[in-house]
């Protein structure tokens, strides 16, 4: 059973996004996604300063089985990326919502996040997949 | 692994299972005007006896000449055992196996090849080979763009001393992907890249600097100074090297303070015959930090469920059959047969033998240059330190002299006038370990007669 925290927003391509107090957002991939990929061996995060459109492919997670793209849930500029993933990609498996965060963004429009799936909506989506 | 072709019955059964009538139906979606149609320029089949007669007739045009041309492909002695072993049925298959792990022997050969190439170049990791040296350089530059997070503009500094054919291939394979080559001038006295020519490019956000060592003229470049300058500019260093030379020269991993980042080159000198230009093979090695951007197959050593050693393709997640259109490159195979020959060649000659091949080639080229420069009107062009090739100046156009030498059974060198008109009647010559003193003398005497 995948962990789907109630305080996050989600997108169909299995990223989560969280609003921070200062108006920026933090993004990662869900517990369901990390479980489906299996043991991650390599994570590539976007460069700080890169401007992303919503749904733009901007990161890669590679497991022993496959390499998959990670997409920006909303538009914005990358302001920080999780450097720890370069040498310890396994933290994305063990702690996808905290230590395994991928990058932080300043959203173009903070309201974009409201249109995304809530925890119940995402749970329904993965229930349908299973 | 045996190669077993499909029988007509296999083909019929497979078509029936798919639910189509004939093989052509599988290509239905290709519009008729894009199809080649009947290949009517290809002649009818001939009996084996006639084919053998035609080919031995044509082969005679090849084998008689005394060859002093290098220019990227080198005539080295190949121990008879190399191709005797390479052409054994176990190795001599049509292609690399698709279910690669079923052929542990093939994978082990590739693994040994990779180990030898990392030892020669000093780098951390090698792939299982590329098509040839020129395309390996193209792939190395595309890889540099993917790897250089600081400068990914695609601006490449390309010395004029890099093999001109390589530059043409790089243009073909990379220009549509936004890479731009800017030339670096060379010193007309020494025949190596002018360090002063780098200055103009400071602060331009260069993605990669190419260094060919030895360069196309056979001259040694100032690899340390160029490497350090490139790294100070945030550029990656892409080395193009002759594998034979690495038996004597320091490996690219030791160029400058940090070493070259990607190393590539032509593998033909390692056991492949000249064979009218191919097939040859390319090689590509790099630092571990760039391994995920490396094109091509990589074989790794592992243990199976019982703890026994075995070999498997590794880092495949970045390749075409998994990442599809987002793959690292469209190279998803290797030059299996040539790599097998190279691996056997290297294991037979060993590090010491390869160093002797290199030393003898340097010595013979030195003797050749002295013998030719003693001919009235002929002189050596460059004074820089060299490996086993040199540029000589003739008193008349090479296009006039070389055919006359060929009539005497001597291939006198590579005419440089098309790619380097500024060098006048210059010819690039090479004498590997295969050339004897009397053969070198024969060339010098023939040149004297032709010029008289």
Q: What is the pLDDT of residue B21?
A: 92
Contact of A47 with chain B, judged by CB distance below 8 Å, is answered with yes
3-class DSSP state of B40? coil
Count how many pairs of residues, chain A against chain B, have C-beta atoms within 8 Å.
Answer: 19
Please provide the average confidence, as pLDDT, over all residues in chain A: 94
Note whether B294 and B284 are within 8 A (CB).
yes
Could you report the per-residue pLDDT of B36-83, keeping only the tens digit for each? 888 888 888 999 999 999 999 988 877 678 999 999 999 999 999 999
Structure tokens at B23: 């093989």
Q: Do B292 and A62 touch (CB under 8 A)?
A: yes
ipTM of predicted complex: 0.70
Q: Do B292 and A42 touch (CB under 8 A)?
A: yes
Q: Do B317 and A62 touch (CB under 8 A)?
A: yes
Q: Is residue A16 part of a domain?
A: yes
Chain B residue whose CA is closest to A62: B317
Q: How far is B108 from chain A (nearest CA, A)?
A: 21
Between residues 100 and 119 of chain A, which touch chain B (CB distance below 8 Å)?
A: none
* Average pLDDT estimate for A34-61: 93
Please tell me which of the candidates B318, B322, B326 has its beta carbon nearest to residue A69.
B326
Chain B residue whose CA is closest to A68: B323
Is pLDDT at B1 greater than 50 in this prediction? Answer: no
Chain B residue whose CA is closest to A40: B317
A61-65, B84-88, B243-247, B305-309: lowest mean pLDDT where?
A: A61-65
Q: How far is B311 from chain A (nearest CA, A)?
A: 16
Chain B residue whose CA is closest to A63: B317
Domain spans of chain B? Answer: 84-343, 351-451
Contact of A69 with chain B, judged by CB distance below 8 Å, is answered with yes
Mutation site, B153, B292, B317, interface A, largest A CB count within 10 A:
B317
Contact of A62 with chain B, judged by CB distance below 8 Å, is answered with yes
Q: How far is B322 from chain A (nearest CA, A)?
A: 6
Q: Is residue A77 part of a domain?
A: yes
Is pLDDT at B246 greater than 80 in this prediction? Answer: yes
**Torsion angle, alpha carbons of A99, A100, A103, A104, to 10:** -40
Note whether B395 and B424 are within 8 A (CB).
no
Q: Do A66 and B318 touch (CB under 8 A)?
A: no
* Average pLDDT estimate for B421-426: 97
Q: Do B317 and A65 touch (CB under 8 A)?
A: yes
Q: Do A66 and B317 touch (CB under 8 A)?
A: yes
Contact of B321 with chain A, judged by CB distance below 8 Å, is answered with no
Res. B103 pLDDT band, cuts 50 70 90: confident
Q: How far is A86 from chain B (nearest CA, A)?
A: 10
Whole-model pTM: value is 0.86
Q: What is the pLDDT of residue B97?
A: 63
Q: How far is A66 from chain B (nearest CA, A)?
A: 5
CA distances (Å), origin B232, targets B128, B209, B228: 31, 12, 6
Spatial distance between the Cα atoms of A39 and A21, rounded to a whole number of angstroms: 32
Could you report the per-residue pLDDT of B307-359, keeping only the tens digit for each? 999 999 888 777 777 777 777 777 767 788 999 999 999 999 999 999 999 99
Give 3-state DSSP helix, strand, coil % of chain B, rounded to 5.
Answer: 45, 15, 40
Q: Do A66 and B322 touch (CB under 8 A)?
A: yes
Pick the CATH number of B84-343 from 3.10.310.30, 3.40.640.10, 3.90.1150.180, 3.30.300.160: 3.40.640.10
Mutation site, A67, A68, A81, interface B, largest B CB count within 10 A:
A67
Contact of B302 with chain A, judged by CB distance below 8 Å, is answered with no
pLDDT over 70, % of chain B: 97
Note whether B156 and B308 are within 8 A (CB).
no
* Average pLDDT estimate for B202-229: 98
Quick check: bond before B279 cis, omega within 30?
Answer: yes
Structure tokens at B405: 């030498």
Q: How far is A108 from chain B (nearest CA, A)?
A: 24
Q: What is the pLDDT of residue B94?
A: 52
Contacts of B120 (CB under 8 A, 6+ apart): B243, B246, B247, B251
Q: Which residues of B touch A62 (CB under 8 A)?
A: 292, 317-318
Q: What is the CATH number of the domain that holds A60?
A: 2.40.50.100
CATH class held by domain B351-451: alpha beta
Where in B272-374 does DSSP place strands (E)? 282-286, 299-303, 309-313
Q: How far is A104 from chain B (nearest CA, A)?
A: 18
**Which H/E stretch holds residue B379?**
strand B379-380
Chain A residue whose CA is closest to B293: A44
Neighbours of B352 (CB within 10 A): 9
* Average pLDDT estimate for A18-37: 96
Q: Which residues of A touch B321 (CB under 8 A)?
A: none
Q: How far is A65 from chain B (nearest CA, A)?
A: 7
Q: Which residues of A touch B318 (CB under 8 A)?
A: 62, 67
* Average pLDDT estimate for B153-159: 97
Q: Is residue A129 part of a domain?
A: no
A89-93, B39-43, B297-301: lowest mean pLDDT where?
A: B39-43
For the residues of chain A, what is the DSSP string, one character each? -----TT-EE-TTSEEEEE-TTS-EEEEE-HHHHHHH-SEEEEE-PPTT-EE-TT-EEEEEEESS-EEEEE-SS-EEEEEE-THHHH-TTHHHH-TTTTT--EEEEES-GGGGGGSB-HHHHHHHHHHH-
Structure-token match 């996040």, residue found: A113
Q: What is the pLDDT of residue B63?
A: 65
Q: How far is B296 from chain A (nearest CA, A)?
A: 16
Q: Which residues of A touch B322 (CB under 8 A)?
A: 66-67
Spatial distance between the Cα atoms of B191 and B99, rounded to a whole number of angstroms: 48
Contact of A64 with chain B, judged by CB distance below 8 Å, is answered with yes
Is pLDDT at B164 greater than 50 in this prediction? Answer: yes
Which strands, in side-by-side order, build the sheet including B389-393?
A: B379-380, B389-393, B426-430, B414-415
Shortest CA distance to B163 belongs to which of B268, B290, B291, B276? Answer: B268
Q: Do A67 and B317 touch (CB under 8 A)?
A: yes
* Total domains, chain A: 1
Please tell me which of the candidates A42, A44, A67 has its beta carbon nearest to residue B322.
A67
Q: What is the pLDDT of residue B2?
A: 60
Res. A96 pLDDT band, cuts 50 70 90: very high
């Amino acid at each position: 059973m995948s962990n789907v925290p109630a305080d996050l927003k989600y997108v169909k391509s299995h990223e989560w996004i969280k609003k921070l107090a200062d108006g920026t957002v933090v993004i990662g991939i869900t517990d369901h996604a990390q479980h489906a990929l299996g043991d991650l061996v390599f994570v590539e995060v976007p460069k700080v300063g890169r401007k992303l459109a919503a749904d733009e492919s901007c990161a890669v997670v590679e497991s022993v089985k496959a390499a998959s793209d990670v997409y920006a849930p909303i538009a914005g500029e990358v302001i920080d990326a999780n450097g720890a993933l370069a040498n310890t990609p396994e933290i994305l498996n063990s702690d996808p919502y905290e230590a395994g965060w991928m990058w932080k963004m300043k959203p173009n429009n903070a309201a974009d996040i409201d249109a995304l799936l809530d925890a119940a909506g995402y749970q329904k989506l993965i229930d349908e997949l299973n | 692994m045996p190669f077993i072709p499909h029988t007509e019955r296999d083909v019929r059964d497979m078509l029936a299972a798919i639910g189509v009538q004939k093989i052509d139906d599988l290509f239905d979606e290709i519009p008729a005007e894009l199809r080649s149609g009947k290949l009517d320029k290809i002649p009818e089949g001939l009996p084996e006896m006639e084919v053998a007669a035609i080919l031995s007739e044509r082969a005679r045009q090849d084998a008689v000449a005394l060859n002093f041309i290098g220019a990227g492909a080198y005539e080295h002695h190949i121990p008879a055992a190399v191709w005797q072993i390479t052409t054994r049925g176990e190795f001599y298959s049509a292609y690399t196996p698709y279910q690669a792990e079923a052929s542990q022997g093939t994978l082990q050969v590739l693994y040994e090849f990779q180990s030898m190439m990392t030892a020669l170049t000093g780098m951390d990791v090698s792939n299982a080979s590329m098509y040839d040296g020129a395309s390996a350089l193209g792939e190395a530059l595309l890889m540099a763009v993917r790897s250089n997070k600081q400068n990914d503009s695609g601006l490449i500094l390309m010395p004029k001393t890099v093999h001109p054919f390589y530059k043409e291939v790089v243009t073909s394979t990379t220009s549509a992907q936004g890479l731009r080559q800017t030339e670096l001038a060379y010193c007309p006295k020494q025949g190596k890249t002018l360090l002063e020519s780098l200055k103009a490019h400071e602060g331009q956000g260069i993605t990669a600097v190419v260094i060919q060592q030895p360069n196309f003229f056979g001259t040694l470049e100032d690899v340390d100074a160029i490497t350090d300058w490139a790294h100070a500019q945030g550029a990656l260093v892409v080395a193009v090297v002759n594998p034979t030379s690495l038996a004597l020269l320091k490996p690219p991993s030791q160029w400058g303070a940090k070493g070259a980042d990607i190393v590539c080159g032509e593998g033909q000198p390692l056991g492949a015959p000249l064979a009218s230009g191919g097939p040859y093979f390319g090689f590509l090695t790099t630092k571990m930090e760039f391994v995920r951007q490396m094109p091509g197959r990589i074989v790794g050593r592992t243990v199976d469920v019982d703890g026994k050693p075995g070999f498997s393709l590794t880092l495949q997640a970045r390749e075409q059959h998994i990442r599809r259109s987002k793959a690292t490159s469209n190279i998803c195979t290797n030059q299996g047969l040539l790599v097998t020959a190279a691996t056997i060649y290297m294991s037979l000659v060993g590090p010491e033998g390869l160093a002797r091949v290199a030393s003898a080639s340097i010595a013979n080229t030195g003797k050749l240059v002295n013998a030719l420069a003693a001919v009235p009107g002929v002189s050596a062009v460059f004074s820089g330190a060299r490996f086993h090739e040199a540029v000589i100046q003739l008193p008349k156009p090479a296009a006039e002299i070389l055919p006359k030498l060929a009539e005497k059974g001597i291939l006198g060198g590579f005419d440089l006038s098309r790619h380097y008109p500024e060098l006048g009647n210059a010819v690039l010559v090479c004498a590997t370990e295969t050339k004897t003193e009397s053969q070198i003398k024969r060339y010098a005497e023939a040149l004297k007669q032709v010029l008289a």
